Amino acid sequence: PNQVEEGYNFAWLPGGEVSNRLIIRNQTQSGTYQVVVRDAENCPVFYATYNVEVRCEPSLTVPTAFSPNQDGLNDVLQLFGKDLGRLDFRIFNRWGELVFASNQQEEAWDGTVRGAEAPVGTYLWTAKYVNILAPNTIIEKSGRVNLVR
Is the pLDDT at 3 greater than 50, yes or no? no
Is the pLDDT at 106 greater than 80, yes or no? yes
Decide which of 10 and 148 is more confident: 148
Is the pLDDT at 55 greater than 80, yes or no? no
Is the pLDDT at 91 greater than 70, yes or no? yes
Decide which of 103 and 27 is more confident: 103
Answering whether pTM is above 0.75, one says: no
Is the pLDDT at 4 greater than 60, yes or no? no
Give the mean pLDDT of 139-146.
Answer: 96
Show the beta-strand stretches assigned E in the chain. 9-13, 31-38, 44-52, 59-61, 65-66, 80-82, 84-92, 98-102, 112-113, 116-117, 121-131, 138-147
Give the mean pLDDT of 69-78.
Answer: 94
Which range has highest mean pLDDT (1-10, 68-77, 129-138)? 68-77
Residue 22: pLDDT band by 50, 70, 90 thresholds? confident
> What pLDDT, on a 0 to 100 scale, did the predictor assign at position 122?
98
β-strand 138-147 against 65-66: which pairing, if any? parallel
